[in-house]
Amino acid sequence: MRRFWKEVTTQQSAWGFGIELDGKPLKTPMRNALLLPTTALADAVVAEWRTVEKDIDPAKMPFTGFANAAIDHVTPDRAEFASRIAAYGETDAFCYRAEAEDALAVRQAAEWDPWLDWARTRYDVSFTLVEGIMPQAQPAASLEKLGAAVASRGTFELAAMAKFAHLSGSLVATLALVEGAGIASELWTACCLDELWQEELWGADFWAQKNRSDREAEFMQAADFLELLRG
């Protein structure tokens, strides 16, 4: 779609902040009203639409994309959407370790144990640590509590959490981010520990680095979206 509008403005209502293009309400891809919960997020979405020069490029409009996802994909069935995020707790990346005698296991413990300890204290849960990559079940009571923690988050937060969980493979990291318990850049580095370790041993690969850089950009966009939700 090419740019057809001249002005982008916000319109406040009892349900949130709407975006208007030349006075006409902007809608989501599924034709729902695009209503945003905070002034900060509305201003960020307005800025994305104002900076369009000729053609709309969704990759350059991440905040609009997260808002669309919240409205079109989370709202219709919040419980189901939240359950898909909570499922990452069953195979949380922070629980899968190298063999004990491997030097990587020492690094993993140093980087990941503090986050597991945070989750243990915050949610009164326990974790099963696994050597290797073969899945092992986590305590059912812990999964239930972590699932409830996910389900308690807001609709727009869940949209960002889905991106965090997908990119990190860690529900613990996702919850730490949405609760403001950690800095996004530090958590991203922790989530990439295994990749970075391999680079230290064998050297960097251009395409692997580019892939990680692209994923990091998405991760940080989701973190910025959360900050906009907090106003």
Residue 12 pLDDT: 93
Residue 22 tokens read as 């030349």
Residue 5 pLDDT: 86
Name the CATH superfamily, with its identifier, for domain 77-229.
ATP12 ATPase (1.10.3580.10)
Per CATH, which fold does 8-76 belong to? ATP12-like (3.30.2180)
Residue 228 tokens read as 């906009």
pLDDT tens per residue across all 231 residues of the chain: 788 889 999 999 889 999 999 999 999 999 999 999 999 999 999 999 999 988 999 999 999 999 999 999 999 999 999 999 999 999 999 999 999 889 999 999 999 999 999 999 999 999 999 998 888 999 999 999 999 999 999 999 999 999 999 999 999 999 999 999 999 999 999 999 999 999 999 998 999 999 999 999 999 999 999 999 997
Residue 203 pLDDT: 93
Residue 40's contacts (CB-CB under 8 Å, 6 or more residues apart) are 227, 228, 229, 230, 231
Residue 100 pLDDT: 87
Where along the chain do its domains lie?
Answer: 8-76, 77-229
Q: Please provide residue 217's backbone torsions phi and psi, each rounded to the nearest 5 degrees.
A: -60, -45
CA distance 230 to 137: 35
Q: Which residues, in sequence order, are bridge partners of residue 27?
A: 33
Residue 132 pLDDT: 85
Residue 231 pLDDT: 76
pLDDT in tens, 89-129: 999 999 999 998 899 999 999 999 999 999 999 999 999 99
Of 195, 141, 191, nearest to 163 by C-alpha is 191
